[in-house]
Amino acid sequence: MSPLYFSESYPPIFRQPKNPLCPEPKEDVCNDQALIGSDTLPVIDFQCIDQEQLHEACAEWGVFRLVNHGIPASLLSQLDDISKKVFNFSFETKQRLFSSTPVTYFWGTPALNSNGLALQKPQNVNWMEGFNVPLSQLSSRSHAYKEDKDDDPLSTSLRYLIQEYGSHQSRLAEAIYKAITDRLDQGKLDDSRRCSSYLSLSTGFIRVYRYPALVQPNETSWGMDVHTDSSIISILNQDLVGGLEFYRHGHWHHVHPVPNTLIVNLGDMMQAISDDKYKSVKHRVKLNRYRERLSMGYFVFPEDDTLIQSPSYMPFSYSDFRAQVQEDLKTVGYKVGLQRFRRRG
């Protein structure tokens, strides 16, 4: 029987029997080259960023594929391997090992509070689990790992690999954001409100997600339901098991996995900063019937108390925005987002 089923590594409500009428395919469909190359996402070459091409991707799509990013293939391979091994710890072990900062374990929801803990509402349970890693805390506490005798060598390796991976993500985010804001700042904003002042690399964090295979899917079962990111920029590294979809022009589009590329999408803060010139793209994750899916997302924000000002929105800080999102999740059950801060009339 496949280890994906009845596995103690999953949260209890995700454990499911194997369907004998639904055998696993002999090959992963994402190895089909025609399928891999069939989506139409804009492609940005990190080694020679074209500002106009980038502007068009941000204005027309809100998402693009990044190539030539410079992250060593060996690091990506190691991180993938260690992540899978740590996810295969028992559910109880993951809860014990990752119960406090800097790395926290969560499951079943796309939203976390400021302490990295899952905000659970029964109707919002998504089929995924993950690790939340604030990079600034990881760096400042890395020396303590050697002194923790109760830690597991694999979890320690995961922390160090994520720290190295995070440095690459910060490098990419800073360069991409500079290219975006240089284009926006061309004579359109005074020096006191230059877009480039909003990005704070100290806010960056990484989430490593695992989505189980779903043997008997239904209309309410999603790896991640429809949402926008609250970030300025999000950078996603996904494995070869597809499932990511984004919304554009009234239709959902599947993002096919392409080896050694990253997916960059804009978040709510970028939409506000750009005064709606760029859009925070809606996206979701569809479950695979045969294989679990692994992905790693990097998210970066303004400093909590930095005031975001643009003609279409009332002045607000990211701290204000995050608090409102958490309040909406508790009271209405979903994220309302930027509409809460839009100027009326």
Domains and CATH numbers, the chain: 12-307 (2.60.120.330)
What pLDDT sits at residue 286? 92
Q: Are 263 and 235 in contact (CB under 8 A)?
A: yes
What pLDDT sits at residue 124? 60
Distance (Å, whole) CA 67 – CA 42 = 11
Q: Over the Cα atoms of the chain, what is R_g?
A: 20
What pLDDT sits at residue 17? 66
Q: What is the pLDDT of residues 149-187, one digit of tens each?
A: 456 788 889 999 999 999 999 999 999 999 999 888 774
Distance (Å, whole) CA 26 – CA 17 = 20
Q: What is the pTM of this model?
A: 0.88
What pLDDT sits at residue 307? 94
What pLDDT sits at residue 99? 81
Distance (Å, whole) CA 202 – CA 223 = 28
Rounded (5°) CA angle 140-206-279: 130
Segments of the chain scoring below 70 in pLDDT = 1-6, 17-39, 101, 110-124, 140-151, 187-196, 216-220, 345
What pLDDT sits at residue 36? 39
